[in-house]
Chain A
Amino acid sequence: MFDPRRFGRLAAVQWTEHRREYLWFFGIGIAVHACSWFVLTEAGMRPELYDLGEQFFVYWLGYAVTALIFAGRQVSMLARPESALTWLMRPASGFEKFVLMLLMVMVAYPLLYALAFQVCNLPATALAVAADNAREAAPSERYMGPYLPFATAVRPAEEMGNFLIVNTLQAVVLAGLLYFRGLSWLKTLVAVFVLVVIALPLLVSVTDANPRTLIPGLVDVPGGFAVDAWRWTLWIGVPGLFWTSVYGFLRDRELT
């Protein structure tokens, strides 16, 4: 089911065929980040506004948006019959193709995004610090250094929560794109909108729920082992099930 040598060959083909696409993707992402910085700092006039809080915001908002698009593009070849045929007939198991997709989405992309983010972020923070120091008034007390995810001691639990939520949504998007045939992006967006934007908040409201308590470490909730076990079950189980469904849809994908 899983042959490392064949998997390596599969990964090499993936990289060879899509590297230009990846470079374009990150290039556009960096450009958008630069524009965001320009807007956030009031059209570039006050770079000192770009403190750690803004970086945190930009980082995770950018990650949420681009990670979903990137994940969706992993199955873009299935949107057209010609490329779908090539991909499905490539001699590797469905599980190997799934693992490659999973690694791309869950490991490679977060790492590359973190690096690409700094391409724009480091100059921006340098400008921010310089602008902050150049002010006539006393320098602000805000933290102007660069934001490094999971390293700047912002809020590891919240960062992990963000990561897991985005990861879960990635699986949902992939499952939708694999399930729907024709206009799959549109149908997936509608489904995600209905689920995430309407149904779940409605459920939260009706049940007077506080889902933040479900994120381990984010909110201090007493309860001992049982509560922790339940929270970890959720945070491993939900993405796990959605990713398993991605594998299932991928394995059963037909050429239509």
Chain B
Amino acid sequence: MRLGSATFIAGLALVVAGIVSSAGDPWRPGKADRRLAIELGGAEVLDYGASGVNIVVIQDRVDGELAFSEGTVEDMAQSTWRMHDNALVLDVRMRDGAVEGPILKVPPTLRRLIGDKMYVYTDVVAPAMRIDATSASWKGDAESLDVHARAKAKSLCDGGFNLVSDFHFGGGVVGTLRITMEGGSINLADLSQVGEVELHVGDDVWITLGPDADETLIRRLPFDGEPAVIDDDAGLPPYDSTCTQVP
């Protein structure tokens, strides 16, 4: 066989091998065991977004494996999931900064089943967005804290995309969130007013993105077993409405 034909066939074979190797979750050895460890009692709807963008449904086990049926309003095919360190990881695709994406709110029962780690990874298409939270509020008490932050999405800033991309609530990234008071809302950055606030596993952060209230996205705090601490002494730069580079 001549060089051209041989290398072309080899290239095709490598493509096929690459695709096959990306089937399911090939990157984690023993993943099947972990999946099997997840027992769900029945179909459960995780949640819906306030904007109704995506619906993620966890169905019952099918053929011994956890199956996700991702009903979609739009752009649902962009969402993928995988297991990572015994945690459910959902890839979320956002558009224009953060408008789209699955809204994830895991009921406590499921949360216990999955484990204590959950990440939401964002995968932003457009770079136009930067997020500066402009207000925040929380509800609940120290045992069950819901933080509601109102953020304003800003553009015109290099690196804004990266901010959004990193704006998942894992690995302490939440500490980079700068939230200032606006319109009388409670200022997260000024939490020192009420002392140190501990955010516990399962706590929700609600962030409203964009100028319109209906552009809502919920982000989940890291379920890493360690409470995330937000205080005013995190060494963060002061809020700059002129769109400074986000660290």
Contact = CB atoms under 8 A, between A and B. Distances in A.
Within 8 Å by CB, do A and B touch in the complex?
yes
Interface stretch (A14-22, A35-43, A137-145, A181-189): A137-145
Contacts of B154: 141
Interface string B161-177: 11001000000000000
Q: Which of B18, B22, B24, B165 has the most CB of A within 10 A?
A: B22
Given A138-B211, A152-B127, A245 B155 contact: no
Interface stretch (B44-52, B108-116, B118-126, B217-225): B118-126
A65 interface: no
Interface of B is mostly: mixed
Contacts, number: 154
A200 B85 contact: no
Interface of A is mostly: helix
A244 B19 CA distance: 21
Contacts of B126: 51-53, 56, 143, 154
A220 interface: yes
A234 B159 CA distance: 29
A200 B19 contact: yes
Interface residues of B, number: 52
B160 interface: yes
Contact of B22 (A209, A241, A242): A209
A158 B124 CA distance: 10
A51 B19 CA distance: 34
Contacts of A152: 127, 158
A200 B3 contact: no
Given A143-B156, A219-B91, A238-B15, A227 B20 contact: no
A230 B21 contact: yes
Interface stretch (A70-78, A109-117, A118-126, A247-255): A247-255
Contact of A214 (B12, B22, B82, B162): B22
A249 B4 contact: yes
Nearest to B91: A219
Given A203-B16, A220-B121, A210 B4 contact: no
Given A142-B96, A152-B158, A248-B7, A221 B128 contact: no
Contacts of B123: 218-219
Q: Which of A155, A175, A208 has the most CB of B within 10 A?
A: A155
A178 interface: yes
Interface of B: 2-8, 10-12, 14-16, 18-24, 27-28, 80, 82, 84-85, 91, 95-97, 121, 123-129, 152-162, 165, 210-211
Interface of A: 51-53, 56, 138, 141-145, 152-155, 158, 171, 175, 178-179, 195, 200, 203-204, 207-214, 218-223, 227, 230, 234, 237-238, 241-242, 244-252
10 contacts: A153-B160, A155-B125, A179-B8, A203-B20, A209-B24, A210-B80, A234-B14, A248-B8, A252-B2, A252-B3
Given A144-B155, A207-B20, A219-B121, 5 more contacts: A53-B127, A143-B127, A234-B18, A238-B14, A245-B4
